[in-house]
Amino acid sequence: MPEMKAVTLDTLLPGEGGFIRGYSEAKELHHRLKELGLVGGTMVRVRRCAPLGDPMELSIRGYHLSIRKEDARHILVLKDEQGPCGRGRGCGRRDGGRS
């Protein structure tokens, strides 16, 4: 078994991905995200970030979804081994550019 650690979705670089473990807090706001398929156990991968670093484009359940980092911050992901594509370009700071 490769080692897995839970990180928040907004910290992933383009090309990185993993399985969703859950949400860091229970909020009614997240219901829409879940309806779109971002539920526990789902495989998610970051495709790219917008030119100004936010939002990020995810690949999930066979389609592409744009999500803001401030929303992605609440989603916990068990990161898999696959590293960032290329030189990890596109997403700006690794802390996800919180403000």
Partner 1 sequence: MPNRERQSTKIREIVLVGNPNTGKTTIFNALTGLRHTTGNYPGVTVERRAGSMKLANGERVSVIDLPGTYSLLPRSPDEQVVHSVLFGTQRGTPLPDLVLVVLSANNLERNLYLATQVAELGLRTVFVVNMWDIAKETGIEIDLEKLEAMTGIRCIPTVGMKKEPIRKLKRVIAEELGRGQLREKTFNPGLAPEIRYRLVENITASAVKTVARKSLSVSESLDRILTHRVWGLVAFIGVMAFVFQSIFVWAQAPMKWISLGIEKLAVLAKEVLPGGALESLVVEGVIAGVGNVVVFLPQIMLLFFFIALFEDTGYMARAVFVLDRIMKMVGLNGKAFLPLLSSFACTVPGVLATRTIEDRNDRLATILVAPLMSCSARLPIYTLFTAAFIPPGTCFGLLSAQGITLLAMYLLSIGAGLGMAAVFRKTLLKGNRMPFVFELPPYRMPHLGNVFSVMWDRSKEFLVRAGSIIFLLSIVLWFCVNYPKDPAAEARFAAERARAESVMSGAELEERLGEIERDQKELQIKSSYAGALGKMIEPAIRPLGFNWEIGIGIIASFAARELLISTLAIVHHVQGEGEGMTAGLIRALQSTRDPETGRELYTPLVAVGLMVFYVFACQCFSTYAVLRKETGSWGWTFFTIGYMTALAWGAAFAIYRGGRLLGFQ
Residues near partner 1, by CB under 8 A: 29-37, 39-40, 42, 48, 50-55, 57, 61-68, 71, 89-90
Q: Residue 7 and residue 21: Cα distance in Å, rounded?
A: 9
3-state DSSP assignment of residue 11: helix
Q: Which CB, 3 or 51, lies closer to partner 1? A: 51
Q: Minimum CB separation from partner 1 for residue 3, in Å?
A: 26
Nearest-Å Rg of the Cα atoms of the chain is: 12
Q: Give the phi and the psi of residue 10 in degrees, each rounded to 5.
A: -70, -15
Q: Which CB, 3 or 82, lies closer to partner 1? A: 82
Q: Which CB, 68 or 94, lies closer to partner 1? A: 68
